[in-house]
Structure formats: C-alpha cells, structure tokens
Amino acid sequence: MGLTGGMGAGKSEALRALERLGAATLSTDAVVHELLATDEVRDAVVGKFGESVVRDGALDRGLIAERVFGDEEARKALEAELWPRVGARVAAFREEGEGRALVVEVPLLFEAGMQTVFDKTVAVIADGDVRAARVGERDHESREGIQLSQQEKAELADFVIRNDGTIQELEQKLSEVLATMTT
C-alpha cells in the first residue's frame, strides 16, 4: 500500500500506527536521508549543485532544500538522482515482504507517478488549521507548491483517511483499511 498526504496531514503518524497494527513499513523520506549519506549520492549531488550544499563534509538537507524548492530545474535534477534509487529500495522492500501488509510512505506518491507500484493507495488528509498547527515552524510554502492539493490526492487515492482527531481515532480508521486489504 502506498501512503501519502500533504505536509502536516499526519502521514508519518499514520505509518507508525500501521506498524503498530502489524504492517511492515518503509518511509521514503528515511530512504532519502540514508541515500544522502552515501558517498555515491553525495558525489552526484555535489556534481550537480557544487560544494554550496555541503556542511562539515556532509550533504546538508536544509541547504539542498533551499537550493531546490522554488527552482524546478534544480528540483528535477535532484529527483532524477534520487527517485530511481528510492524506487529500487521500494522494489526490494516489496520483494522482502513477509506475507503481511506492506506500507510505503511516499509524500509525493502521485506527483512521482509511483501509484502504479502499489496495489492500493491511501491519502491522509486533515483540516488546514490542524495541518498548519502540526507543521509549526517548518518552511512549507515552497514545498507545498510542488505537491498536489489534498483534494487532488484524495481524488486519486483508493482510500482517504481524515486525520483531525486523536491518534487512537487515526489508528482505528487505518485498522479498518488494513482489514480490507488483508482479507
């Protein structure tokens, strides 16, 4: 199952809830963080953007974000470097499946065209005020500009989970979705 949602909608909390419910989970954000720490990706990113994205000998995600968000050409160059590697990790995760539900959190699931990789997709959505409160200080305006709206994600997803309540309510809704997929 592919799990997506806008910033502050609660997709990471949903992923943790699904893991508590017994699903095997993978976060593509975590995969990207791991990839950025490898020499191969570091060299490729420095080759594209120069040493300005390096701090203390390592790629600095904040500096990379400043460089690519708001610059479509730079963002596409970074995505071209990362997405094939992320896709390979997702494929390996699926191959290693232990006979239980597999859930992959992909913030840009539909934007990246990755929905075809999954049997089902789930969009986590939340009220705008709730999302803003969750995001807090995170600089998200330029990042939101590259994402589909919540409404668009909801229209494309097989399941839509509204996450305006408690973690327990979220877990109950996800349990119901998981039950439809494992029967």
What integer pLDDT is reported at residue 26 of this predicted model?
Answer: 96
Whether residue 123 has pLDDT greater than 70: yes
What integer pLDDT is reported at residue 143 of this predicted model?
Answer: 52
Whether residue 53 has pLDDT greater than 90: yes
What integer pLDDT is reported at residue 142 of this predicted model?
Answer: 45
Residue 43 lies in a domain: yes
Q: Which residue has the higher pLDDT, 141 or 128?
A: 128
Q: How many domains does the chain have?
A: 1
Residue 182 lies in a domain: no
Residue 183 lies in a domain: no
Q: Give per-residue pLDDT as tens, 26-50.
A: 999 999 999 999 999 999 999 999 9
Rounded to whole angstroms, how far apart are CA atoms 115 and 34? 22
Whether residue 137 has pLDDT greater than 60: no
Query: pLDDT tier at 144 (50, 70, 90 boundaries)?
Result: low
Note the pTM of the prediction, 2 decimals: 0.86
Average pLDDT, the chain: 89
Give the domain CATH number at 54.
3.40.50.300
For 65: left if phi > 0, alpha if psi spans -120 to 50, otherwise beta; the answer is: alpha
Q: SS3 string of 70-131?
A: CCHHHHHHHHHHHHHHHHHHHHHHHHCCCCCCEEEECCCCCCCCHHHHCCCEEEEECCHHHH
The whole domain housing 96 covers 2-177
